[in-house]
Amino acid sequence: MRQQHEAAVQKQIVEYLRAVLPRAIVAAIPNGAQRTASGRPANAVAGLLPGMPDLVVVLPEGRVIWAEIKSDKGRVSPAQLSIHGQLNALGHVCVVLRSIEDARGALKFLKIQTRENGENNACQMDWKPDVINT
């Protein structure tokens, strides 16, 4: 199977999350800056933070999930691990997703009701979190 580019994986996951979580806000965090020849960010904006997850999913009742999107062979960088650890220490959930199947598994693992699972959140789980704090 051909490796999917991370942007394509992210697009699929965003579309999936928006379809199964109609009351949630699913937003991308454009932190990956294009670089100039000198190495400076071409789109430098105050507040960009290396390592921030790619997506934030804001759910009813104040729940928030941060999601780092990776291709099937993509690796989490040291900056990303650091931010994930900081988010976890603040009590936030941060997951690494590589596919719609990972997203589906994370939602079930976190017992989040979706259009797919309705009230039944007690299904068998094969999905294991890469980086997570509940």
Range of the domain at 99: 6-109
**Is residue 121 within 8 Å of residue 111, measured between CB atoms?**
yes
Q: Are 67 and 6 in contact (CB under 8 A)?
A: no
Chain centroid offset of residue 133 CA: 13
- Mean of all residue pLDDT scores within the chain: 84
Residue-wise pLDDT tens digits, 8-17: 999 999 999 9
Q: Is residue 127 part of a domain?
A: no
What is the model's pTM?
0.79
SS3 at position 112: coil
Place of tokens 């040291």: 78
- Burial level of 12, CB count in 10 A (0-12/13-18/19+)? middle
| pLDDT for the residue numbered 4 | 67
The pLDDT of residue 47 is 77
pLDDT in tens, 91-124: 999 999 999 999 999 999 999 999 987 744 444 4
Between CA 33 and CA 45 the distance in angstroms is 9
Could you tell me if residue 27 is inside a domain?
yes
Cα 54 from Cα 14, distance rounded (Å): 10
Establish if 78 belongs to a structural domain.
yes
Residue 38 lies in a domain: yes
Q: What is the pLDDT of residue 124?
A: 42
Query: What band does 1 get if pLDDT is binned at 50, 70 and 90?
Result: very low
> Do the domain assignments include residue 76?
yes
pLDDT of 126: 52
**CATH number of the domain that residue 35 is part of:** 3.40.1350.10
Q: Using one digit for the tens of pLDDT, what is the confidence trace for 25-54? A: 999 998 765 656 666 666 667 777 889 999
Q: With residue 82 as reference, give the H or E element that holds it.
A: helix 78-89
Residue 54 — left, alpha, or beta (φ > 0 → left; ψ -120 to 50 → alpha)? alpha
Q: Are 134 and 40 in contact (CB under 8 A)?
A: no
